[in-house]
Structure 1
Amino acid sequence: MEHITQSPTDPAFVQNPYPTYDRMRSSGPLVWWTDYAMACATDHATVSAVLRDRRMGREVPPELAPPADPARALFDGVEAHSMLELDGPDHARLRGAVLRAFTSRAIAGLGDGIRALCHDLIDRFPTGDFDLLDAYARPTPVITIARLLGVPAAAADDLLRWSNAMVAMYQARLTPTIMAEAEAATAEFTAFLREHLAHKRAHPGTDLMTTLLDTPLSEEELISTCILLLNAGHEATVHTLGNGVAAMLTAGVRRSDPAAVEEVMRLDPPLHMFTRWVHQDCTVAGHDFYRGDRIACLLGAANRDPAVWTAPEVFDPDRTGPAHVAFGGGAHFCVGAPLARMELQIALEVLWERCPDLRLTAQPVYADVYHFHGLERLMVAR
């Protein structure tokens, strides 16, 4: 297995990680990323296989669990009940509860509200140059998630602040300041949800939070699940919408059909690395792995595998090929994928309808947020 060295916070990598992925992929389906001290799956076939391999999972083997860190105790307490970090029966139970609430009918029922929200946000676009992320990409998903959960839309700013602080814990550039901000956000978000869960018990509605209260989840599991739905659903959708608009404006394409949405997610996905713990000894791509090893699935590399797609660096909404891996795969396939797809399609449809002459006014700038990949700002004018 070839060893590759590449700092995930290097400015050139942050702005364009794809040349590094090409170098990794050309070295084989598995490489050793020395900066992470971890094997990484680089091509579409291997990433897809690892994501679906039941001998691996997200849960840390108990014998390898790190000692408790008081500096992140609140955050880790929420994570301990998150279905994203669990496998087996506990994961299936939590995921099943969410799926019972996340029905196709419930998601479709959000469509008109999302469309009206997009029109309202565009009505308030400033004149001259402005950042489309702040004006459109960030508020659309956070307000949608607030409505889905059944909390006041007025809480959107707090939800956004808490989400950003907590999601920062997954970044390569983790610092004591980021950790402290995440702890504070976790405390505030948890208190907010406890209050609203109590209100929903007394005054049930038709929202997702009320529906979850009818499942056998504990209070801690309810809180972790609501936080996960906000953090994962918001962060990924903001990045995907921003990356997608930038790609379309650069390519001179304005589309919002399902094929265009899928191509946006393939070309420049919001999450580039998703790891798996090896639970049972196994062989992957000719290499032996043992319980306690980790394998990183490089989703961004897999989605530009030239063995699968011709000219994978080109935005081509008419291309054919297998499903991309932006939503992951296997037991942990993104539970919010149907909502994300609908949000993106509506947001793009309304944006191109209302702003047909939208144009870039500055080079899009990516944020230093790896393992995520999303823009720091997207300056445009109409």
Structure 2
Amino acid sequence: MSTLTFLTIDRASRRVSLDGRDPSFYSDPNRVYAALHAECPTFYWEQQKQWFFTGYDHVNGLLRDRRFGRQILHIATREELGMPEPAAHTRHFDAAEAHSLLELEPPEHTRLRTLVNRAFVSRHVEKMKPEIEELANRLIDGFEKDGRTELLSTFADIIPVTMIARMIGIPEEMGPQLLKWSHDYVGMYMFKRSRADEEAADRSAREFADYVRGMIAERRANPRDDLLTHMIHTEHKGQFLTEDELISTTIVLLNAGHEATVHQIGNSVRIILESGLSTSEMFRDEAATERTVEETLRICAPVHIFQRYCLEPAEIDGIRFARGDKVSMILAAANLDPTKFDDPLTFRPERNEAPNLSFGAGIHFCIGAPLARLELNIVLPLLFRRLPGLRIAAQPKVKDVYHFHGLERLDLVW
């Protein structure tokens, strides 16, 4: 049995009781994941009323399994599934999500992803390297002489939102507003969200959509060399994106394009500093830097859970699922599977084992992964090179935003 007082595991029935909003859990979820691997890698989470998978092979397999998908209403009605009608107070959020890449299945998903994918392939993203370096250096110039900084507000928050805004064609000065909209928006994915969280998300979704609608009109009149113009004017098999598809796609790219990377920069700097290992070794060359970045993604991933609907009857690990059932995969736990990773709770930058699943897998593999990886491979070594003697000034506090994982603030001195 688990020695964690806030976690109850019944191994025989594979039932687990755990409060996702308990700071003892979300501050250090890896301890819980280790206990689950030891006792019950596939389990029914009582509070979430759903089956969860933590084993690497199960998670990797489910992400690629076409019997499971992000949508269900394309093949079944709400009545058939006993699903409630959408809530009136989240209608703007629901409208913004209606054509999201994250929520669609083929053929709609294929059409949208094909139109967007070209901008995110590695060879295109690689061209942004000088811009990312210039921005990171400029931000460090702003606080280097102070001998201290709060890294999220002065660095981590700014780089990903600035780069994705530039890519899409959104003015950089919109950065703070985009961050606010995005933080409200992703509140819909938190465990035990409140009515206030839902109303804030809906309000920001409406404002976000209105803003993007205005940008689309402006780009139709004045095309530019940016992703928004590309999405407006490019066709796939004779079809263009509709206005609603353009709005949903732009919002999901802006949100996904920075929210997770902000968390990951903070998480990575923390885990590196707390390890006490030599950063000159970690970042001695490009190959070592890549391995270090992948190890931070493995051990402190920014997004922990992906969900799927069962599209047809299926059995996974002895559990039978009917059409319409929801299942969840804990990516961050799969990254700690002791059958795949030796001493999985230890940060080892030289590790060369299974690939981490932090960006997902299958047709919904994160479209922004090349950009996120490029940003991390540039800004992490730069930060440690520019600020020798970097250390943590105060105990970092983890945000109550599970199933995301990121810090409230990260106070550093040098």
Which residue of structure 2 aligns with residue 80 of structure 1? 98
Which residue of structure 2 aligns with residue 136 of structure 1? 155
Matched to 2:90, the amino acid is R
Which residue of structure 2 aligns with residue 43 of structure 1? 55
Which residue of structure 1 aligns with residue 27 of structure 2? 15
Given that 1:101 and 1:212 are in contact with CA atoms closer than 8 Å, whether structure 2 keeps it comes out as: no
Where does 1:183-198 land on structure 2 (aligned, <5 Å)?
183-198=202-217
SS of the residue 1:109 aligns to = helix
Confirm whether residue 277 of structure 1 aligns to residue 312 of structure 2: no
SS of the residue 1:88 aligns to = coil
Matched to 1:156, the amino acid is G
Matched to 1:358, the amino acid is L
The structure having more radius of gyration, on CA atoms, is: 2
Matched to 1:99, the amino acid is N
CA shift, 1:128, in A, is 4.6
Confirm whether residue 171 of structure 1 aligns to residue 208 of structure 2: no
Given that 2:119 and 2:125 are in contact with CA atoms closer than 8 Å, whether structure 1 keeps it comes out as: no
Which residue of structure 1 aligns with residue 237 of structure 2? none
SS of the residue 1:49 aligns to = helix
CA shift, 1:159, in A, is 0.7
Aligned pair partner of 1:324 in 356, 362, 378: 356
Which residue of structure 2 aligns with residue 70 of structure 1? 88
Which residue of structure 1 aligns with residue 365 of structure 2? 333
Which residue of structure 1 aligns with residue 134 of structure 2? 116
1:262-297, Cα deviation, whole Å (9 max, x unpaired): 111001100111111110111111222111111110
Confirm whether residue 4 of structure 1 aligns to residue 16 of structure 2: yes
CA shift, 1:225, in A, is 0.6
CA shift, 1:173, in A, is 3.4
Confirm whether residue 298 of structure 1 aligns to residue 310 of structure 2: no
Q: Residues of 1 paired with 2:39 and 2:324: CA distance?
A: 24
Work out the number of aligned pairs and report it: 382
Aligned pair partner of 2:241 in 193, 200, 217: 217
Q: Residues of 1 paired with 2:178 and 2:379: CA distance?
A: 20
Q: Residues of 1 paired with 2:53 and 2:86: CA distance?
A: 30
Indicate the percent of aligned positions where both proteins have the same amino acid. Answer: 41
CA shift, 1:60, in A, is 3.0
Aligned pair partner of 1:98 in 108, 116, 134: 116
The normalised TM-score by structure 1 is 0.97
* Greater Cα offset, 50-59 or 349-358: 349-358
Which residue of structure 2 aligns with residue 259 of structure 1? 291
Given that 1:29 and 1:285 are in contact with CA atoms closer than 8 Å, whether structure 2 keeps it comes out as: no
CA shift, 1:104, in A, is 3.1
Q: Residues of 1 paired with 2:26 and 2:191: CA distance?
A: 11
Given that 2:267 and 2:300 are in contact with CA atoms closer than 8 Å, whether structure 1 keeps it comes out as: yes
CA shift, 1:5, in A, is 0.4
CA shift, 1:252, in A, is 2.3
CA shift, 1:351, in A, is 0.6
Runs of at least 5 residues in structure 1 that lack an aligned partner in the other structure: none
CA shift, 1:90, in A, is 0.7
1:151-183, Cα deviation, whole Å (9 max, x unpaired): 111111111111111011110131121112112
Q: Residues of 2 paired with 1:165 and 1:375: CA distance?
A: 16
RMSD (CA atoms): 1.4
Matched to 1:19, the amino acid is R
Which residue of structure 2 aligns with residue 350 of structure 1? 382
Aligned pair partner of 1:25 in 33, 37, 52: 37
Which residue of structure 1 aligns with residue 267 of structure 2? 243
The normalised TM-score by structure 2 is 0.90
Aligned pair partner of 1:182 in 201, 216, 224: 201
Given that 1:102 and 1:208 are in contact with CA atoms closer than 8 Å, whether structure 2 keeps it comes out as: no
CA shift, 1:105, in A, is 3.5
1:30-76, Cα deviation, whole Å (9 max, x unpaired): 11111101111111111111111110011134423530211100000
Matched to 2:190, the amino acid is Q
1:220-277, Cα deviation, whole Å (9 max, x unpaired): 1111111101111211101111100000001124234111111110011001111111
Q: Residues of 2 paired with 1:184 and 1:310: CA distance?
A: 46
Runs of 4+ residues over 6 Å off in structure 1: none
CA shift, 1:23, in A, is 2.2
Q: Residues of 2 paired with 1:264 and 1:152: CA distance?
A: 31
Given that 1:29 and 1:46 are in contact with CA atoms closer than 8 Å, whether structure 2 keeps it comes out as: no
Given that 2:302 and 2:404 are in contact with CA atoms closer than 8 Å, whether structure 1 keeps it comes out as: yes
